[in-house]
Structure 1
């Protein structure tokens, strides 16, 4: 069975841009995309990182009405990824093409509208499209319908690790010989009033309403919470031998995957980083790598006080005083929840392709006993051709991906 898995296509729809090149330029500029959000007006936290310039009507035409925002993003990213991989859905073996998407929840805006009709005594005004627009599985389902992918098709949900988990599961489908090609990634839009209100009540969001562009600041001493985001990333994965046989572009190799559960608390990570350590160590072992082989770390880095401190401590224990340089894209694009792991996996691939590590937006200084080598201000040359992408979620669910330059 194939062991070398290639990334042959990338599709990205994020607040940083609508193409990999646009995303890369925004990341390297180290500039936050956070801004006041009209959808959240009047709430305690009224800003977010929003996708701009994306026109669903132009992309999908009449299909737009059937799709919720997170599905818009997923389907657009999938189309772009397939095109980037030089695949033709009219000629591929459709029954051997799988789709695995990670979705932490859904875009709750559709349900908000339905609940409002119910609460005002108008159930007849609830749209019959409410369920197919909002079910998490429909991101993968709509991609299959659009592209004619008839292989295994499902959505995984491991909270903010969902997108990374989906890529790991897709890798396993390829290694087992179940699929020839898998479209894998994640999608979510956290820009709903319900989502914002819930996270604000949990005191998980930054309250910098007067300076939203400075709000998301992973690992920085002055961090006070994350910023809501949205987006999608889809990676085309296939065995390296098959990719080479059709002269496909190979962006990177997916060499390792590690997953674990903290088995500790519904929200708080394990205080000793037990699950994080297990997931990173498993990914290293899976790839046959030592900690010293890793060229950079794409950290989960949410910009929350406790989580960043625990992640820094866990990474320090694994990699020691010579830990590789660390970046954390949520300073630029905010936190897209279930999509974050897939977007950041794509960013890790881009870092390897460009041999550069983007800076962490708004980073100035670190607190605590565990100091990481944070890339700040300007991109840094990447001197080793490997990188790991870390994703952790509620329920203590952890997923780590290890990529190698092609």
Structure 2
């Protein structure tokens, strides 16, 4: 099978609106948590989130284009444009029939749906829906818009596996390229779920943190006082490319995709398996796909959303796979900085893992003041500040409601 490399990336996150700023935020332990500005939060149990800062879609597209799409599609186009520019891919000189888009979103146009239904409810009962309503809410609109904008006629679809969606998309893109079905695929995910319905719904599930007195420290994986995840928004885009194709066009290579694994908990619609069975199987499958051993992994970016059961069950799986005394393995939870981007989480965390491999820097886990007593304190959770180390292989986990598990492994690129 063909080798697959990463030749471009783009990031639009709560701690940085481009790839460079995102990486600086990760390295410096920056928190994206703050009070919600999207709507009046006064009556909500959770009054904060990890919103994008100083983002205006009109800085990237005209008003007519912007009004035809939900925010999650705006985010997708912005991140993809950065990734394409970063890759220096000139589509006019490439075979557009062999370039595809596999994108992801767990919620699609939830903001548009909410706005239209509320407006209808406040009206006289006559349905006066926006003519763009339907395509604005569909998850697959994002991949369609990306391909239309750039004239890409290859494989094109969206993946939906809740919070594992964008890792699933990346693994699919990896497979199609190594099978020889495409030369290049733009992949990743976007999410714009900081809305009344979303915050209210997750509050009703008791899934969100209510640490309203300190939004910046509310996302605290592994901490004894964690009380739920913090909603995030944004997008991450990666250009995956056939190695020979990349070399032929003189592309700069960030890293190589080594393997991917997927599994199911088959346990509960929202809760993770208490012993981390599905997480273990997904990681094990990824290692088998990459044809490496657990001890080859230098860095693990955990799913770790800052929920009581989720963090512990994932760590149980990690200890089962890697062993409780594995001191060479650095672990971190970058959601402590970005919050949880739901369907886009895997994309921005894959980017974090790629940059960690390229730069030999492990991003930190922030906000851990009192380590949960159930956690083995010999684990290197990279608490407080980044750590420099040689990283040959990095693993990134994402898990979604429904019991979906997806694990990606990337490795340092070495010129032949």
TM-score interval for Structure 1 and Structure 2 normalised by the shorter chain: over 0.9
Looking at structure 1, the residues matched to 339 and 188 of structure 2 have their Cα atoms a distance apart, in angstroms, of 18
**Which residue number in structure 1 is paired with residue 84 of structure 2?**
82
Shift of 1:53: 2.3
TM-score normalized by the length of structure 1: 0.97
- Separation in structure 2 between the aligned mates of residue 159 and residue 124 of structure 1, nearest angstrom: 30
Does the residue aligned with 2:15 lie in a helix, a strand or coil? coil
Secondary structure class of the residue paired with 2:93? coil
Name the counterpart of 2:321.
Answer: 318
Q: Is the 8 A contact 1:18 1:54 kept in 2?
A: yes
Asked if 1:10 corresponds to 2:16, the answer is no
Q: Which of the residues 369, 372, 383 maps onto 1:366?
A: 372
SS of the aligned residue for 2:186 comes to: strand
SS in 2 for 1:39: coil
Q: Distance in 2 between matches of 1:123 and 1:133?
A: 21
Deviates more, 1:49-58 or 1:147-156: 49-58
- Deviations, residues 331-377 of structure 1 (Å, cap 9, x unaligned): 11101100000110011001111100011120232320544311022
Separation (CA, whole Å) in 1 of partners of 2:110 and 2:376: 37
Unaligned stretches of 5+ in structure 1? none
Deviations 1:102-156 (A, max 9, x none): 1111242211111113223344432111111111001101100111111111000
**Residue equivalent to 1:95:** 97
* Shift, 1:383, TM fit: 2.3
**What do the CA deviations read for 1:167-188 (whole angstroms, capped 9, x no partner)?**
0000111011111100010111
Partner of 2:34 in structure 1? 35
Number of the residue aligned with 1:259: 262
Q: Is the 8 A contact 1:293 1:384 kept in 2?
A: no
Q: Which residue of 1 aligns with 2:57?
A: 56
CA contact (8 A) 2:111 2:193 kept: no
Q: Which of 286, 291, 297 is residue 294 of structure 2 equivalent to?
A: 291
After superposing the two structures, state which structure 1 stretch, 295-304 or 234-243, moved more: 234-243
What do you get for the CA RMSD once the two structures are aligned? 1.2
Q: For the residues of structure 1 that align with 2:163 and 2:314, how far apart are their CA atoms?
A: 14
TM-score, scaled relative to structure 2: 0.95
Q: Is the 8 A contact 1:10 1:346 kept in 2?
A: yes
Q: 1: distance between equivalents of 2:338 and 2:141?
A: 24
Is 2:386 the partner of 1:379? yes
| Whole-angstrom CA distance in 1 between matches of 2:399 and 2:118 | 33
* Structure 2: distance between partners of 1:72 and 1:369: 40
User: Is residue 2:245 matched to residue 1:238?
Assistant: no
Q: 2:146 aligns with which of 136, 143, 166?
A: 143
C-alpha separation between the residues in 2 aligned to 1:124 and 1:91?
47
Measured after TM superposition, the shift of residue 273 of structure 1 is 1.2
Provide the rounded CA distance (Å) in 1 between the counterparts of 2:223 and 2:248: 46
User: Structure 1 residue 88: deviation in Å?
Assistant: 1.3
Distance 1:178 1:127 in 2: 38
**C-alpha contact 1:102 1:185 (8 A) present in aligned 2:** yes
Q: 2:252 aligned to 249, 257, 265, which one?
A: 249
Find the counterpart in structure 1 of residue 156 from structure 2.
Answer: 153
Q: 1:349 — aligned with what?
A: 354
Q: Is the 8 A contact 1:296 1:382 kept in 2?
A: no
Q: Distance in 2 between matches of 1:376 and 1:125?
A: 52
Other structure's SS at 1:174 match: helix
Structure 2 residue runs of 5 or longer lacking an equivalent are none
